[in-house]
Structure 1
Amino acid sequence: MKKIIFGIVVLIVGVLTFFSFKEKPSENLDKNLNYEILQKWDLPDVLDEVSGIAWLGKDRIACIQDEDGIIYIFNLQTSKIENEIEFGDGGDYEGIAVIEDDAYVLRSDGVIFEVIDFESTNPQVTKKVTKANALPGINFEGLCADPVNNRLLLAVKERKNSQHEKEIYAFDLNKKDSGEKPEFKVSLSDPLFDRVDGKLKNKFSPGELNIHPHSGELYILDGTRPKLLIVEKGGTLKELYIFSSKDFANPEGLTFNSEGDLFISNEAEEGPANILRVSLNRK
């Protein structure tokens, strides 16, 4: 009997030890929450794994999810999907960008699907295999439009032999290809990351990015350890916002409306997937 009791105690201690050391981003990071959630929209089950969003105007957002080659048009006024546009087979789709009537969807291996006149009755789909696709061990998770420079920006979440910096590549819309070298790099040794405590110090995994329509600053979202990095036009790291995992369970999508309001989407975790309108308390 004593052996049984002893075994139960050992089991309980082991379970408690496991959970005490399990990575919990918001508990290990600065708790000075300098943001406010203004609105929230729960998404239908088909978007449980929402992985990218893009603003379309008139309270409409284009959404993609990891597994299906479908663009979903979600209406914020009705909180419903109003259209579905197929562009490909199943795959690991991670980002969407929209420029005028055309949509671009990023697969995690660096392949881009160009969907011409995507909301028409007969959209034309072309697959572009970028030069960055050939890089060893590369995993892309972020895509945004940069119409001023007629290009797309692609964020690398992780790549072999690149643990101390994160690369941003450019996809030229004239050449229909990316360069072999990144446009710029985010160095994880930058002093801005010093405010991140413990095991998560100097760790950053870009899951999405977008350009603010007014300031031109680049916003880069880390969904693995929820936080948001703001980068100036010249590539200087400017601000870092720590997000609570209670508010941002698994953020993977980021977009702006024409007024500059920030929207962030979260995959489903303990609750349904959602889109949040977020206000940052900027310095």
Structure 2
Amino acid sequence: MKDLIFTCCAFSFLALSTLNCNSITNTVSDSIYMDYDHHKVPYKLYAPDEKYLLHYDLEEISGLSVFGADHLLAVEDEQGYVYVLKAENGEVERKIKFAKGGDYEGIEAIGNRVYIVKSNGDVFSFEISDNDEVEAEEVDTDFSSGNDIEGLSVSGEKLLLACKGKGEIEDNKVKGKAVYEYDPKEKKVAGKPLFNLKEEEIEAFIENRKFFNKIHSFDPSAIAVHPLTSDIYWLSADKVLVVLSPDYKLKEVVRLDGGIYRQPEGICFAGDGTMYLSSEGDGARGRIFKISYKSY
């Protein structure tokens, strides 16, 4: 009798465990926003941990970067200011005037030096000090307004610049969206893209999925390199997140919830893998979302 009771209990426990496992699996794959491999992208992008409503000046936030252990840097696409934000709540601690108004689309920090890219590819940089107004150095690159640069990230000793528009510079022919390396020491863009990606490749990657099997378009708005995996997170304002491996192979594609991210425009990572993703306000206040790095 004791053996029978033990067997029944063991069977019930196994059945319950199986049910719980299936429940977890279904939970993370039963909608268009959950239809991705959470081992490849270990973030619950459909359920961010925190949301910060930003100052009204940042309604059109267009670039985001981690700065030190406790701060973020932000830029918006009309005024020539860099905003220093508290990472714990998105509150503006100070703002620094670095140039006149313009279409600024990306920001990154290497140590104490800040880099900002304009949509025409011009790169501005300055050292952060106690001054709230600086004269930034401006570098005119080989890009033009047709490239529509909308992404800036650090990768080793280089910067990555992502094209939202055409991928060609000078005479090279590029299909799809392209990312180029910029050498901040030489102040020069590489002649050929580091990698490029076509919409058809994204479509083919997701075509057999149950929920998320088609994209509207891919118009890059930000890019960031993961500090722990070196994966490349390439964000589109069309509410798509593309993740590439360190050798630039397509690894995963995620559909973002437009009810959460109205117009995603910035992405960056803290050293522990915590993701910060910014979204324009689209008529309201801009937002930053904090999303924890998960272990599955």
Q: TM-score range by the shorter chain?
A: 0.7 to 0.9
- Alignment partners' CA distance in 2, 1:92 and 1:49: 11
Q: 2:152 is paired with a residue of what secondary structure?
A: strand
Residue in structure 1 matched with residue 154 of structure 2 by the alignment: 145
Which residue identity is paired with 2:91? K
Q: Do residues 46 (structure 1) and 60 (structure 2) align? A: no
CA drift at 1:59 = 2.5
Q: TM-score with structure 2 length normalisation? A: 0.77
Whether contact under 8 Å (1:56, 1:98) holds in the other structure is: yes
CA drift at 1:271 = 3.9
Tell me which of 57, 77, 88 is aligned to 1:66: 77
Q: Do residues 234 (structure 1) and 243 (structure 2) align? A: no
Q: 1:192 is paired with a residue of what secondary structure?
A: helix
Aligned residues: 247
Choose 268-277 or 189-198, whichever is displaced more: 189-198
CA drift at 1:197 = 4.6
Residue in structure 2 matched with residue 8 of structure 1 by the alignment: none
Whether contact under 8 Å (1:164, 1:189) holds in the other structure is: no
- Alignment partners' CA distance in 1, 2:194 and 2:130: 33
**How far does the alpha carbon of each residue in 1:46-91 deviate from its partner, in whole angstroms, 9 at most, with x for none?**
1000000110133311110000110001113354211111110000
Q: 2:34 is paired with a residue of what secondary structure?
A: coil
Query: C-alpha root-mean-square deviation of aligned residues, in Å?
Result: 2.4
- Alignment partners' CA distance in 2, 1:163 and 1:247: 33
Question: What runs of 5+ residues in structure 1 fail to find an aligned partner?
Answer: 1-28
* Cα pair distance change 1:129/1:138, threshold 3 Å: same
Runs of 4+ aligned structure 1 residues displaced above 6 Å come to 160-163, 280-283
Residue in structure 2 matched with residue 18 of structure 1 by the alignment: none
Q: 1:91 is paired with a residue of what secondary structure?
A: coil
- Alignment partners' CA distance in 1, 2:142 and 2:232: 23
Q: TM-score with structure 1 length normalisation? A: 0.80
Question: What runs of 5+ residues in structure 2 fail to find an aligned partner?
Answer: 1-30, 37-43
Residue in structure 2 matched with residue 159 of structure 1 by the alignment: 166
**How far does the alpha carbon of each residue in 1:243-273 deviate from its partner, in whole angstroms, 9 at most, with x for none?**
1100110110101011111110011125421
Whether contact under 8 Å (1:131, 1:179) holds in the other structure is: no
CA drift at 1:114 = 1.3
Whether contact under 8 Å (1:227, 1:240) holds in the other structure is: yes
Q: 1:189 is paired with a residue of what secondary structure?
A: helix
Tell me which of 88, 95, 98 is aligned to 2:106: 95
- Alignment partners' CA distance in 2, 1:263 and 1:154: 19
Q: Do residues 185 (structure 1) and 196 (structure 2) align? A: yes
Q: 1:46 is paired with a residue of what secondary structure?
A: helix
Tell me which of 208, 211, 233 is aligned to 1:219: 233
Q: 2:205 is paired with a residue of what secondary structure?
A: helix
CA drift at 1:175 = 1.2
CA drift at 1:139 = 0.8
Q: 1:233 is paired with a residue of what secondary structure?
A: coil
Q: Do residues 128 (structure 1) and 142 (structure 2) align? A: no
- Alignment partners' CA distance in 2, 1:69 and 1:53: 14
